Structure 1
Amino acid sequence: MAQPRDDRPGTAVRPRPTDAPATADPLTLGVEEEFLLLDPVTGESMPVADRVRDALSGVARAQSRQEFRHSMVEMVTPVSLDLASLREHLVALRRAAARAADAVGARLVAVGATPVCEAHRTVPDEPRYHDMSRRFGPVAHDPAVCGCHVHVGVPDRELAVRVCNHLRPWLPVVQALTVNSPLHDGRDTGHASWRSMQLERWPSIGPTPHFDSAADYDATVQELITAGIMLDAAMVYWYARPSASYPTVEIRVGDVCPTVDDTVLVAGLVRALVATMIDEIRAGVPAPRIRDCLVAAAHWRAAHDGLDGELVDLRTGRPRPAWDLVDELLATVAPALARHGDRELIMREAERLRRDGTGATRQRRIMADTGGDVRAVLEHLAAQTTAA
């Protein structure tokens, strides 16, 4: 939960008229990744984020952000038009952050939730963070959680709101692809994404409601601020949201991914999904109207099962094998993947994920192989975080 800012990734895209071809040009991409700073011996969270950022230099320093916990650092990619350049940025930023963490005695780890414990839960000394602490109490002092946020350039804000409507049936599938936080307090929680469970305590986090227009969106946000649910519009933490300042849609449903290749897979799929939804909107296909309680239930199931069980198909309301829905997502976005030149790469990475499992599956496999050795899991995650 970073402070509001005007330098979000993926925003260097010029607005185009809404009657322009939906995918005449590649949609821009940007990714924010949040990481934990852990003690290399105990695995506990270390409150050294300021020191880590001070140890960064050059581009990496400029692309780092202060986060809501002293044990977290966020790295933000520049705008990319292709997955190859996005991957280069991700590798460079992860390695720079890992070197800075190592310089202060910490280990940079791409994991979605605090795996062992976090003794220091005070917020950074910023007025807005103190306001959040006073308003939301213990919720604002939960152990740190880390997400992966993908920004996709969209021609205008009205269209961005409509894209968010169309995304609702598919975002639980995206969430299931990213699950990477089964551990809490040194034990398996039974949930593939414990991060998702923690975040449900915040009143402004969850599935994006259906909105009739950008004006409807803005009016609803203002009503929630007036009601005291949010301090300001920057506290819109819905799983998909239009930027308040730029023509982008931000998808923020996923855990931070364990590897760069996992992040590239998610980013490529998300861009193709947004492009596909734009095509549907321009073709006059209406967004499905799904009851909010069913959407919330589908996200709970995705956070619990990941890809190792079943997901709720929100088009029918029935559970189905998770990989059946992933295959349907891939088929749905295949034309958009081809237009962006991403189809071969994404299909290959999806097969790798099918073979190796999600981040949560991999962590559980190591736990099983080592008799529950959390340190072995964290050592593996740290190595995967910076692997090229």
Structure 2
Amino acid sequence: MRTVGVEEELLLVDAETGRPRSVAARTLEYAAEAAVPAESGGGGGGVPGDSAETAQATATAGVPGGSLEHELQQQQIETDTIPHTDMVALGDGVRAWRDHAITAARRAGARVIASGTSPLPVGAAIVGKPRYLKMVEHFGLTTTEQLTGACHVHVSVESDDEGVGVLDRIRGWLPALLALSANSPFWQGEDTKYASFRSQAMVRWPTAGPTEAFGTAEGYHALIASMIASGAILDEGMVYFDARLSHHYPTVEIRVADVCPDAADTVLVAALCRGLVDTAAAAWRAGEEPLPLSVSMLRLMSWQAGRFGIEGELIDPRTLKPRAAREVVADLVDHVRAALRENGDEALVDAQVEQVFARGNGAMRQRAVLEKTGQLSDVVADLATATAGLDG
């Protein structure tokens, strides 16, 4: 059974005002003084402020996951779990690292929220690492405005060949994952009209978004080498594809989802990701061709998912026609159902999908709070409650 690990980018906000607060360094200091959660291991990391030094140390130690780390901005930290085969254990790991972050942040006068963007206005507070400062110099406003929260799911693969076979065959289903997880309707205090404005902020990076089919591992690595040689990006850590081969671990890293307020939704995304990898790997081994989807059409599909989430229509990856989001998500689940059943995840996924459509995704939750109270600070407070798992 394939292992799954999850990275979550979490925002640090003032405990009173709800505005993002630059206390990542202090939070990490307090976290280092506390007992580590039941999971243990080295650093992880992956985007956009991926610490190459930390990740390299982890790769050398051979211990994936199990950490609380800096991100690009001082108003943010990143958690990552160790690999799990059992989704209940994975959920426990996600919650344990959230709790660890929340406890440390509280000592720094902050709360932790799982949101794809900050509901309240925020200014730049770049962590002063040399790599991050180079990013500011090279990418300008794209870097300084980059304060977004994603959920990255690592699923183990047997080889780069299998991994590329998977990447080529999951592309059309990734927008449905974005729609389910969409949790970033506000940007600088304004309603963007998007369910996931994080997905819009991300496409400003030159490597972000959907990709063409690579065909072979050699083709994939040749493209990455050409991108780095072009000078347009600093290093391999800046390859921000919606899904990529991890450059540290033997995994496919699926990076399209917003971070979710409810940890149960994080587990749903992770289970669907593993189902997609299993299903795609089997198709690759059987010699089945990927869906013939152009990058232009995939961009449309991703935009549609980010704009409307699960409240409108998504673009069907098989027909390229609009269909109700619920129907496209149902097709996704059916597409991976055999793998879900084999992994013991079928009942969990069916139940949690019903939950999401019954009560809404994170974006719908945020807007519902604003409609009720009229205060974005209340949206932040509700996100903190949900992130901590205290809303029942």
Q: What's the TM-score, normalizing by structure 1? A: 0.91
Determine if contact 2:18/2:381 at 8 Å carries over to the other structure: no
| 1:46 corresponding residue in structure 2 | 21
Alpha-carbon separation, structure 2, partners of 1:43 and 1:216: 46
2:301 is the alignment partner of 1:302:
no
Whole-angstrom CA distance in 1 between matches of 2:114 and 2:347: 26
Q: Could you list the runs of 5+ residues in structure 2 that have no partner in the other structure?
A: 43-66
The partner residue of 1:35 within 10, 17, 22 is 10
Which of 357, 360, 366 aligns to 1:357? It is: 360
Distance (whole Å) between structure 2 residues aligned to residue 140 and residue 378 of structure 1: 24
SS in 2 for 1:285: coil
Q: What does residue range 78-227 of structure 1 map to in structure 2 within 5 Å?
A: 78-119=82-123, 121-227=124-230
The equivalences for 1:223-372 within 5 A come to 223-370=226-373, 372=374
After TM superposition, give the deviation of residue 185 of structure 1 in Å: 2.1
Is the contact between residue 68 and residue 79 of structure 2 (CA under 8 Å) also seen in structure 1?
yes
What percent identity do the matched residue pairs reach?
39
Indicate if the aligned counterparts of 1:204 and 1:229 stay in contact, CA closer than 8 A: no
Query: 1:184 Cα deviation (Å)?
Result: 1.5
Aligned residues between the structures: 361
Report the 3-state secondary structure (helix = DSSP H, G, I; strand = E; otherwise coil) of the residue aligned with 1:169: helix
Structure 2 Cα separation of the partners of residues 74 and 304 of structure 1: 25
Q: State the shift of 1:244 in Å.
A: 2.0
Which amino acid letter does the alignment assign opposite residue 380 of structure 1? D
**Deviation string for 1:17-43 (max 9, x for gaps)?**
xxxxxxxxx110100001000112222
Kindly indicate whether residue 45 of structure 2 is the aligned counterpart of residue 68 of structure 1. Answer: no
Is the CA contact (8 Å cut-off) linking 2:22 and 2:125 kept in structure 1?
no
Are 2:8 and 2:80, in contact at CA under 8 Å, matched by a contact in 1? yes
1:387 and 1:130 map into 2 onto residues whose CA distance is: 35
- The residue number in structure 1 matching 2:30 is 55
Q: Following superposition, which runs of at least 4 residues in structure 1 exceed 6 angstroms of deviation?
A: none
Structure 1 residue 143: Cα displacement: 4.5
Q: Return the alpha-carbon distance in structure 1 between the equivalents of residues 327 and 77 of structure 2.
A: 35
CA RMSD of aligned residues (A): 1.3
Q: CA deviation at 1:318?
A: 1.1
Contact 2:177 2:256 in 1 (8 A): yes
Rounded to whole Å, the distance in 2 between the matches of 1:185 and 1:232 is 30
Q: Give a deviation string over 1:153-175, Cα, whole Å, max 9, x none.
A: 01101110110010111001111
Name structure 1 gaps, 5 residues minimum: 1-25
Counterparts of 1:41 and 1:246 in 2: how far apart (Å)? 40
